[in-house]
Amino acid sequence: MYRDTFFFTPSTHPSLGSRRELRDVEDERRALYRNPRNRQTPADSHTAFRGSRTRSQLSSDTAVHDALVSGDLDKIRNIFKSKDSVNVIIQTVSHELSWSAELGLWSLTSKQKPTSALRITAERGHAACVKHLLGHGADVNAAPGGTTALHTACANGHAECVQLLLSIGADPNAVSEEGYAPLHLCTSPQTILCAKLLLEHSARVNMQTQDRENTPLHVAAKHGLDEHVDLYLSYCAYSHKKNREGETALNAACSYAEKPEAFGRYYRVCKMLIDCGADVKTAGKKNHTPLHNACGNGHPGIVDLLLLHGASVNAKNCAGYTPMDCILQSVDDHLEHHPEQIVLALLNHGAAPVDPKILKRCAMSPWTMEAVLNTYECLPLCDSWIEAVPLDVWQNHQVFYDSIIQMSNKPRSLQHLARCALRNYLGTRCHSVIPQLQLPNSFKEFLLLKFEGYVK
């Protein structure tokens, strides 16, 4: 049973055509069954079908497959003329690497995978071909190979095909063989219109995958899709929802915010999630909090955001590491993005002093080294890390390193000792109390461990 009319708002997609054009699909389908001249008896259908190509030929004919892949509408019209033909299962061959335990090596194997004409054309965005196949009775919810045409169209961001499929009655909550709904496959910025269409057609925004129990919000946060996150939250997505590993969408965003060019998108994702109630202290896989992940990825903006909203600066993961340990372990990977700013933020929010045994991790970053050393009342001997400083870094910051050597194992200045005493008293409140003190700005910056290029 199909709808007699369709309704599309102008905001859905300006390029999808008029309502009259969209109804053509259904008109074609009804014409096949309402016009006596178009009706066929089983014998007539079999004869007509045999006169062109048999089911077996359609299934394996490379010319048929090529026509579908290329979107050759004329050939497709000539080949697929009946409901029987448009629903033929087409066999494709994929080449995959598989491990052979007997041979002890990877080998390339060929596997046959079933699909359909509708899936192939929807996957490649051939809207006119999709329209023709639907008009001739293609099963819109068929899932040969484990996924429907709607899954493949959404995964590839083909909004026009998604619109056509949904208008004919495609199930927006269909679950693939791997346990994913179409909304879970909207994993790129180009799929935002597909996500909107799915939600407008009653897709469940909090539906979870069968394996890891991720919601569409988890998926969007993982990929840094700020527009998707904003869309899902507007449809009442649960920002506090946990997956099988106990992670929220905020955990996912902080965990995958690795590439500097995407830092802005991930920051916006985190801010939206926090503004909608995401808990910054939720510990997920291996007891990593969002702050552990943001520090490990060297994202100073997200670190500041998490600390501003009460992240636990000294929380430990399963390995006993704090967020400070996470940034110090990855200093070398984030030298261009100022890891010292993260270290400074953690210290000013009450991070515990760094064990002198791990100062070697700061060797490549003199600013990070300065921040850490300024939390000590007495500088430890530098024998454990000094050899790890590259010659060019030493030469560029010789004044700093010379000051360390001169002050090693000696009393610090009275001014520095006063700083340590005040900071120890304030603890986690340094970042909020010190800026409010009635002191010159230069002295407040000193209390907040401003970089000076030497120690005293």
Q: What is the pLDDT of residues 399-438, one digit of tens each?
A: 999 999 888 878 889 999 999 999 999 999 999 999 999 9
pLDDT in tens, 376-408: 998 888 888 888 898 999 999 999 999 998 888
Q: What gap in Å lies between CA 370 and CA 390, rounded to an integer?
A: 16
Report whether 186 contacts 223 (CB < 8 A): no
For the chain, the farthest-separated pair of C-alpha atoms sits apart, in whole angstroms, at 103
pLDDT at position 3, please? 36
Report whether 176 contacts 147 (CB < 8 A): yes
Nearest in space to 294 (alpha carbons), one of 369, 211, 221: 221
Residue spans of the domains in the chain: they are: 1-35+53-93+108-204, 206-352, 363-456
- CA trace torsion 65, 67, 69, 73 (10° rounding): -140
Which of helix, strand or coil describes residue 239? coil
Which of helix, strand or coil describes residue 166? helix
Q: Tokens standing for 411?
A: 């009393």
Average pLDDT over residues 29-38: 45
DSSP letter for 375, please.
T
pLDDT at position 59, please? 60
Count of all residues that appear for the chain in the document = 456
Q: Which fold has domain 1-35+53-93+108-204?
A: 1.25.40
Ramachandran sector of residue 89 (left: φ over 0; alpha: ψ -120 to 50; beta: rest): beta
pLDDT at position 159, please? 98
- Return the number of other C-beta atoms located less than 10 Å from residue 52's C-beta: 14
**How does residue 55 score in pLDDT terms, banded at 50, 70 and 90?**
low
pLDDT at position 289, please? 97
Average pLDDT, the chain: 87
Report whether 379 contacts 407 (CB < 8 A): yes
Q: What gap in Å lies between CA 136 and CA 84, rounded to an integer?
A: 9
pLDDT in tens, 215-274: 999 999 999 999 999 999 999 999 999 999 999 999 999 999 998 899 999 999 999 999
Contacts 24+ apart (CB under 8 A), 14-19: 15/160, 16/159, 16/160, 16/163
Q: Is the dihedral of CA 212, 283, 334, 302 positive or negative?
A: positive
- Per-residue burial over 138-147, b if 16 or more Cβ lie within 10 Å, else e, is bbbebbbbeb
- pTM, entire model: 0.82
**How does residue 10 score in pLDDT terms, banded at 50, 70 and 90?**
very low
Q: What DSSP letter does each residue of 403-428 carry, written as one string?
A: HHHHHTTSBPPHHHHHHHHHHHHHGG
206-352 maps to CATH 1.10.1740.10: no
Say if residue 183's pLDDT is above 70: yes
Report whether 432 contacts 330 (CB < 8 A): no
Q: What gap in Å lies between CA 33 and CA 31, rounded to an integer?
A: 5
Say if residue 456's pLDDT is above 90: no
Greatest mean pLDDT among 19-28, 79-88, 228-237: 228-237
Q: What gap in Å lies between CA 319 and CA 322, rounded to an integer?
A: 9
**How does residue 9 score in pLDDT terms, banded at 50, 70 and 90?**
very low
Average pLDDT over residues 269-287: 95
pLDDT in tens, 147-180: 999 999 999 999 999 999 999 999 999 999 999 9
Q: What gap in Å lies between CA 238 and CA 232, rounded to an integer?
A: 9
What are the respective helix, strand and coil percentages of the chain, to the nearest 5? 55, 5, 40
Q: What gap in Å lies between CA 341 and CA 334, rounded to an integer?
A: 11
The β-bridge partners of 108 are 97
Q: What gap in Å lies between CA 404 and CA 384, rounded to an integer?
A: 13
**How does residue 335 score in pLDDT terms, banded at 50, 70 and 90?**
confident
- CA trace torsion 409, 414, 415, 421 (10° rounding): 80
pLDDT at position 408, please? 84
- Return the number of other C-beta atoms located less than 10 Å from residue 87's C-beta: 19
Q: Which residue has the higher pLDDT, 58 or 345?
A: 345
Residues 6+ apart with CB under 8 A from 206: 215, 216, 217, 236, 237, 238, 241
Amino acid at 371: A
pLDDT at position 92, please? 80
Q: Return the ∠ at Cα 181 (arms to 208 and 176), rounded to 5°.
A: 110
Report whether 59 contacts 90 (CB < 8 A): yes
Say if residue 16's pLDDT is above 70: no
